[in-house]
Amino acid sequence: MGSRLLRLAFVAYVIATAVHIGYVVLHEPFAFDAWNVAQDTGGQPITFGRFLDYGVFEYTHANPRLGQWFAYLAYKLEYFAAFATPLAYLGTALAVFVIGTARWPSWQRGRDLALYAMILGFAWFAIPRIGMLMFCRAYSTNYVYGALIQLWFLVPLRLRPSGEGGVKLSVPYFFLGLAAGMSNEHTGPTLVVFALGYAVWKQRETGIRPNVAWTGAFGAVIGFAAIFFAPGQGERYDGLATKVGLASRLLQRGFSANLDIVRELVLGAAPIFVLLAIVLVIGRTDTDEHGNRQRAMGFLGLALGAVALIAVTMFVSPKLGPRFFMHSCFLLLAAFIGVADTVLVTPKRLVGFVLLALTASTYAAFRTIPTYLRVERQSEARVAALVASARGSVFTAEAYEQVEDSWWFLGDDFRFPPKRDLITQYFDLKGVILRGTDLDAPLGVSGVKLVPHYAITPRTCLDEHGGLELGEYRGTDVGAIQKAMRAAIDELRAKLAGRGTMDRLALEVEFAGERPTLPRPTLLVGRWREKAGFEGWAGALPRAGVSLRRKVVLPEDLKTQDLEVVIYKVGHEFRSLGRTKDAGDHEYEQWGPGVYWGLACRPDECFVIAAIRQL
């Protein structure tokens, strides 16, 4: 009865993993390569002829990998990726199990089910930025699907180490090798070296030609050559690969930069090394009567060698990033499973690792499902606004709640100028401006400008005297901006001495592109007048503990004024919190992530007194 319940729990876990992945993929925002595919295909729906045309176009002018054919299907068929990506993840986990243990998992062996469950859960933290990559159709089809194909290329050799077989095995294995070679040019050299080396080694060891191994190796060689020498390699990334040769790029990066690649790989694989260390400590007193542990450690050494060779290949890559570590980490995860299979031989030893896997999967679901649901709504609103935009206009896009990439989400694609240029061309616009969180920008918002409005006697242009140089300051530090403003005004007045007089200067907040809804017509950081001096206040927006509630802390000299206190989520809603002279705290509860400004307002103008980014 107990074993039956555990098997039912295993099935539920596998189904939940598939549903989670498929659901999130289904709600991926329309972003990144979705625009590229729309541009390259003219937004036309899928037909078999257009599918072939797109594949040929990508091979000759852009991305020649096999995964790009899947990318077309993923973007053109609504539910393709929602079903294919979970299957790819589950299939990759199965390949990892077989490669690590050199056997098929058995439904009757609880330990096999536990090891497979560990792979499903551990991949969420063992594969660098797996969420970011898997939940973007372009990355998923090129890297997750590619890893699936290349790992399954290794499975037959783990199950049939002799590499021997007849035509019925050799022919399909040749085509599997062809697909594996065409899946990724960064892992291709290692795959080719391994496949050829294995075939040579087995033939020398046994004196018998391993037909299956040889045909697979030839397929891998042909497949890798097909993408390495593809015409598209010379045009993708604006011809980046053709600007510097392989040897020149190796020398250009230098020792330290290449060492950084190795360091990033080691950091990416660190969770696997930690798990491996824990398992080895657990099994330190075990006997290895049948040599299983020794064989598992030998395979670990082979995997480390392959990972090192992949890293060396990266030294000459025109592009770098965590996506290139995926195959290496899956291979290391397989080696870890092989060692774990020889150590975690009792339920007592397994239970902690299985619980860790379940926790990781649960955490991944809680991190991704709400995020992608919210971003999907923001994406739909953006696309609808773009469609409704007049030709020749400047479109102002409100940034997604998350602009930069993270472990779980690729971020807002509009942060990249080339993507905004593509959108401009696609919709025949004059330009696209992104307004969103940027802690280096004035008041923490991209597209915000601090513009001086002034009067000088006799009338003259501020630029004739060097302009208003604020220098460096932290974008959300209103006090620092005001301090820089005062210093700049003092410097200007000194330059004007004997030639004119600065009568007034107000530093107003203006927006590039379409002006958002504001609580008042004018926003200021500060104002200086010759007779009245400087007017402006710096407050704070602190939070009490871990709650979502914050308060607008007013400086003492502002409490004597009678201004309205307003909290403003930039580009969105604003709310009144009372008057500056009111007793008590001016509290609010954030209503979503973004940049918030605390304002002190008169009937026709507001002073920004605090700015903060809230997650």
**Whether 604 and 457 share a structural domain:** yes
Tokens found for residue 574:
């604003």
Cα–Cα distance for residue pair 178/275, rounded to 1 Å: 34
Q: What is the pLDDT of residue 240?
A: 46
Cβ–Cβ < 8 Å for 282, 341: no
pLDDT, tens digit, 9 for 90 and up, residues 18-56: 999 999 999 999 999 999 999 999 889 999 999 999 999
**Whether 229 and 188 share a structural domain:** yes
**Whether 586 and 465 share a structural domain:** yes
**Whether 495 and 408 share a structural domain:** no
Q: What is the pLDDT of residue 251?
A: 63
**Whether 511 and 533 share a structural domain:** yes
In a domain, 293, yes or no: no
Q: Sorting pLDDT into bands at 50, 70 and 90, what band is 498?
A: confident
Q: What is the pLDDT of residue 10?
A: 94
Cα–Cα distance for residue pair 605/611, rounded to 1 Å: 17
**Whether 447 and 429 share a structural domain:** no
Average pLDDT in the 516-532 region?
92
Average pLDDT in the 339-355 region?
93
Cis peptide before 347 (omega within 30 of 0): no
Which residues have a Cβ under 8 Å from the Cβ of 423 and sit 6 or more positions away?
A: 35, 386, 395, 414, 429, 432
Cα–Cα distance for residue pair 352/366, rounded to 1 Å: 21
Alpha carbon 607 to its chain centroid, in Å, reads 37
Q: What is the pLDDT of residue 245?
A: 57
Average pLDDT in the 289-301 region?
87
**How many percent of the chain have pLDDT more than 90?**
66
**HSE-CB for 562 with a 13 A CA cutoff:** 0
Cα–Cα distance for residue pair 597/550, rounded to 1 Å: 12
Residue 548 or residue 148, greater confidence: 148
Give residue 596's identity as a one-letter amino acid code: Y
pLDDT at 465 over 60: yes
**Whether 449 and 412 share a structural domain:** no
Average pLDDT in the 427-443 region?
89
**Whether 450 and 429 share a structural domain:** no
Cα–Cα distance for residue pair 134/92, rounded to 1 Å: 12
Q: Sorting pLDDT into bands at 50, 70 and 90, what band is 460?
A: confident
**Whether 425 and 459 share a structural domain:** no
**Whether 446 and 546 share a structural domain:** yes
Average pLDDT in the 596-600 region?
95
In a domain, 405, yes or no: yes
In a domain, 260, yes or no: no
**Poorest-confidence range of 1-10, 58-67, 380-389?**
1-10
**How many percent of the chain have pLDDT more than 70?**
95
b/e 65-88 (16+ beta carbons within 10 angstroms → b)? bbbbbbbbbbbbeeebbbebbbeb
pLDDT, tens digit, 9 for 90 and up, residues 200-256: 999 998 889 999 999 999 999 999 999 988 888 776 655 444 555 566 666 666 677
Tokens found for residue 299:
């395979």
Residue 332 or residue 502, greater confidence: 332
Last residue of a domain, one of 200, 218, 237: 237
**Whether 489 and 584 share a structural domain:** yes
In a domain, 503, yes or no: yes
Range of the domain at 413: 385-434
- Strand spans (E) along 368-495: 394-398, 431-435, 448-457
Reported pTM: 0.87
Cα–Cα distance for residue pair 499/428, rounded to 1 Å: 49
- Strand spans (E) along 365-500: 394-398, 431-435, 448-457
Query: Domain tally for the chain?
Result: 3
Q: What is the pLDDT of residue 549?
A: 84
Last residue of a domain, one of 370, 400, 434: 434
Cβ–Cβ < 8 Å for 554, 539: yes
Cα–Cα distance for residue pair 531/526, rounded to 1 Å: 15
In a domain, 303, yes or no: no
Last residue of a domain, one of 416, 434, 452: 434
Average pLDDT over all residues of the chain:
90
Could you identify the residue written with the tokens 């991926």?
Answer: 28
In a domain, 63, yes or no: no
**Whether 447 and 430 share a structural domain:** no
**Which letter does DSSP use for residue 553 in this model?**
B
Cα–Cα distance for residue pair 205/195, rounded to 1 Å: 15
Residues in the chain: 615
pLDDT at 556 over 70: yes
Give residue 329's identity as a one-letter amino acid code: C
pLDDT at 300 over 90: yes
Q: What is the pLDDT of residue 374?
A: 93
pLDDT at 318 over 80: no
For the chain, give percent helix, strand, coil, nearest 5.
60, 15, 30
In a domain, 355, yes or no: no
pLDDT, tens digit, 9 for 90 and up, residues 117-148: 999 999 999 999 999 999 999 999 999 999 99
In a domain, 507, yes or no: yes
Selection from 458-462, 547-551, 576-580 with the highest mean pLDDT: 576-580
